[in-house]
Structures are given as C-alpha cells and as structure tokens.
Chain A
C-alpha cells in the first residue's frame, strides 16, 4: 500500500522553493490565492490516489 511520502523527495529543494515564490511575485493577495488554489488542484489530479490525498489534507490541517 502506498503511503504519503514524508521523507525528502524533491531533487533540488532550493530550486523548487525559489520557483514557488517566483510565481507569486508581484501578485495581489487574491491573485496569489488563486494561483495556490490552482496549484493544489493540479497536483491533486496528478496524485489521483484518494488515500494519499486524504493523508495530505490531514497533514496540512495540522499546520493551521
């Protein structure tokens, strides 16, 4: 059974993080929210697996 990956899995974490911030540059709060929402939806579809998605949602919830 697949489980959500909680160990490092991104090849170049600094590169990814830089790009993540870059796409938000110059955006208003609402535009950033829109972009984030789209990003979540795109990634969620890529993952697809309901169980992983649900684990990810629960994990994220604890950081509120």
Chain B
C-alpha cells in the first residue's frame, strides 16, 4: 500500500506500471533519487542534463500542496538558472527589498536589502514552493524531450534497502505491489524525516526549539506594500510572541504567528481561531480567504556526514534548519550543485570515489553555517531565558533610537551562498586578487558586453582568463577545460570583481561555478596541479 500522506497541488507524474516491476531479476540503474521535493527534482535534472541516467522515485504523484518555502535567494536562483528553470520563477515571483521591524505597536526601524547592482538575478524572490518545484519539473520535461535520460515514477515508495559494496538493492512499493530495483548510487532527497536515513539507522542530531508557529497563507486584494514586516511581541490580540507578514505571488500573503510551546494544536488550527488572529493583525475591514494553514515546530540538526557508502544524502534529509533566514531549500539546491558534477566525474571514471568525500566535507561546513545562523535568529526571536529576553528587548528599545543597535536585531539573516574556505579541493592562493572571488567562493556574477558572466560558465570546468592568454581546449586526466577569454577594458565591473589592482588573472572554475584556484598568469603545471586537486585525481589509474 502506498498511502497518500498529503494533498497534491500539481499532479505531474501519475502512477503507471513499468517493466522493472515484472522483470525476472531487479533492474540495475546508475542513479536512483528518492523523493521528488525541490532537491530531488533538481538533482535529477542536473544529472540528466549531464547525460547521467537517473531514476527518481516519489511516493506521491505530484507536488505537495501548501506553501512551505517562500523566499528563494540569488545563489539558488543562479543554480536553477544553470538548469534552465529560472526565468519562469523570476517572472512569477515577487521581488522585494524593503523590510520593517516592529516591537509591540511601534516601528523599530526599516531596512533596505540594497542588493548590490550588476547581477543578473535579484537578491531574493518570494515564490510559493509548489511553483518552484513545478518549474523545475517543467525543466525536466524539456530536458527529456531533448534526450536527457531522466525517468520519474510516481506512487513508488522506498520501503527498505540493502547496501552492498558497489550497489544498493531497493524494495519499492507501488499500487500494484512491491518490486525491487538496484542502484549504483542512491541519492536520498526524502526530506527531514528521511525514511532512507531511518532504514540505515543513521543519526540526525541537533536542537529542537520548544515553540509552535502557526502559518497562514491568506489571499487578499488589500493593498499592503511588498515589504517584509516582522513584529516582536506584537500588540494585536492573540498573535503570540512574534509575527511576520510577507507577500507572495497571486495576492497571497504569508502570515506567521509564534504561539509558544504549550498549545492545543487542534484548537489553534480551527479556522475561526485563525481568523480571529488574522483579523486582529490586519484589521476588521480587510477581506481575505485562508488558503492554507499549518502549525510547525522547528529544529536545527544535521547528519554527521552526508555520504554513506553508495548512499548520498541531500537537502532536508541531510540537514534541517528553522525557516528564519530562508536556508532550507536554498541550501539544498546548493547541495545539488555541489554533488552533481562530482558524481558525474566518478561515474564517468574521471575521478575517484573519494571525490565524493568533498561533497560531504563542503556541504557539512555549509550546513554548520546555516544551522548557526538559524539558531542565532531563533534564539533572538524566541528568547530562552529571562535574561536573554531582557537583552533582546533592550536591543529593540535601543534600536528604535540608535542606529548602533540595529545590526543586533535578528529576525532572520538572509541566506548568502556558502564559501568553501579551507576545502580540500582548493589550491593555495598566492595572489592578492579580490577577497570575494578567492578559492572556494561561488562566482560573483558580472555584466559582459553581451550578456552575463554566469551564463558563460554552465558546462563543466572553465579557465577564465582576464587580460591573459591560455590555450583552448585543455584536457587533463580526461577532463575537458573550457577557456573563456575576457578583457578588462570591455568589462569594468568584471575587472573590479576579479582583478582588483592586478593587471591580469586566470581563474580555474569548477562546474558548480565555485573558484578552485587562481593566478596572475597562465602556467601549465600549476593548472594541471590545481585540476588534479579539484577533481581528487592524481592521474593514477582509477
């Protein structure tokens, strides 16, 4: 039995029987992805576009209803842009810059995200998660039309697995009963309560926050501005200890109320009780409909490592954060970005399996950063002791009057991309090139004469040469390196971001658009060495 655990917003991949189910012996697949949430879908698409055959199993037949994530950050957008799905998101999404912070009934201050100029993608968009997933799914459909080897099976639930030395056997349940498949690699994108993780008896350690948040998405045409409003100790009745109002597309507004720990969930979820709260917040005269409501408790935790033999964890199955700062899906998409090219090289025999250790290493470090940020925000929003509440309220009182206290106000820090400082894939940097584009950093976008830098870096490794020359079509240990030659004269912003005071520079850029190494000038030996480091391949037979 494959029971339905949640309602479907978009039914996209209805169940259909396939040959594997009646085969004499289990069919072997290169890569099986468990879970069709945003992370599983993006994983399948990234691998499929790279020509790696991938089978995705999800226990439902489409995208889950209800808006979970609403804020998507620039780096996540840039990654889905590389996968060809970003335009629809930005077209549909709401771009916002202004935020206001209130304490009780008065405004503490307002802020402008003041996104840096000269990037193709906005710092943030608000978009309901079901749309985000749907646009990735549409990207998969387009990729399949163009021959990408991706298959999705709906109502296929992983029920148990056995790990062997170099493959995994999966038991899968369907409306027609159980069958088995095998996978060279299994990627578990099955969410925070990951059945795969549980089947393997792996831990998921961290902190549970003793607090309940009521989330209501309300539809209204009232003319609230496109801003993020956050209240500490709001004065409107029954709103709890904090509240948030944020706009989404389709005249939908996300409202969050922090209710505390000892609550009667069923009572709080009654529409009349939710409406009483929303009325108090928006004022009696505002007409609205409740689109979707839910109560959440929050946790910040992660697995010790994300790679276990032939099983790889990505997204919420590997790490979970509180939503303050919008780091869940945004960081999961960065997992995908990090993993796909490494798995490709391993599968194609161009890098040893050990390259995948760097996936765990780099993304565990990123998860730590996200967990630390989310924990700090949660501690500020929901003080855990009398003294922390005293400090919190003093910060808010001071912030109203004095600018100095505003940076201490933490209603969620916006998610910035992880920089893989200290990664084993980075080469030593002996230059004085700008700090922001150091080894480990994701490429900062920049306008080119006819387009954007990131759009030039979408297909494998690159040598980006600015006012410097390098041979075209380098190939090292079977890995192709594309050469992109640019001049500072034509591209002042690029020069500012990548040259600083230097006369020339060469950047070795990984397929996930992170810098692996950089120099002032071309040096064949150095580049060979850096590529070997970045691919964990010292040239010995694999």
Using a CB–CB cutoff of 8 Å, the interface residues on chain A facing chain B are 30, 33-34, 37-38, 40-42, 45
Interface size on B, residues (CB 8 A): 12
For residue B397, CB closer than 8 A to chain A, the reply is yes
Q: Which residues from A are CB-within-8-Å of B390?
A: 30, 33-34, 37
Q: Which residues from B are CB-within-8-Å of A33?
A: 386-387, 390
Q: CA A41 – CA B391 in complex, angstroms?
A: 8
- Which 7 A-B pairs rank lowest in CB-CB distance, beginning with the nearest? A37-B394, A38-B394, A45-B404, A33-B390, A37-B391, A37-B390, A34-B394
Inter-subunit contact A41/B408 (CB<8 Å) = yes
For residue B113, CB closer than 8 A to chain A, the reply is no
For residue B395, CB closer than 8 A to chain A, the reply is yes
For residue B458, CB closer than 8 A to chain A, the reply is no
Inter-subunit contact B398/A42 (CB<8 Å) = yes
For residue B393, CB closer than 8 A to chain A, the reply is yes
**A48 CB → nearest B CB, Å:** 10
Q: Which residues from A are CB-within-8-Å of B391?
A: 37, 40-41
For residue B208, CB closer than 8 A to chain A, the reply is no
Using a CB–CB cutoff of 8 Å, the interface residues on chain B facing chain A are 386-387, 390-391, 393-395, 397-398, 404-405, 408
Q: Is the interface of A mostly helix, strand, loop or mixed?
A: helix
Q: Which residues from B are CB-within-8-Å of A37?
A: 387, 390-391, 393-394
Inter-subunit contact A34/B393 (CB<8 Å) = yes
23 A-B pairs with C-beta separation under 8 A: A30-B390, A33-B386, A33-B387, A33-B390, A34-B390, A34-B393, A34-B394, A34-B397, A37-B390, A37-B391, A37-B393, A38-B394, A38-B397, A38-B398, A40-B391, A41-B391, A41-B395, A41-B398, A41-B405, A41-B408, A42-B404, A45-B404, A45-B405
Q: Which residues from B are CB-within-8-Å of A41?
A: 391, 394-395, 398, 405, 408
Q: Which residues from A are CB-within-8-Å of B405?
A: 41, 45
By beta carbon, the residue of chain B nearest A45 is B404
Q: Which residues from B are CB-within-8-Å of A30?
A: 390
Q: CA A15 – CA B246 in complex, angstroms?
A: 50
Q: CA A45 – CA B406 in complex, angstroms?
A: 11
By beta carbon, the residue of chain A nearest B395 is A41
**A46 CB → nearest B CB, Å:** 9
By beta carbon, the residue of chain A nearest B394 is A37
Sample of 18 more A-B contacts, CB < 8 Å, known A34-B390, A34-B394:
A33-B386, A33-B390, A34-B393, A37-B387, A37-B390, A37-B393, A38-B394, A38-B397, A38-B398, A40-B391, A41-B391, A41-B395, A41-B398, A41-B405, A41-B408, A42-B398, A45-B404, A45-B405
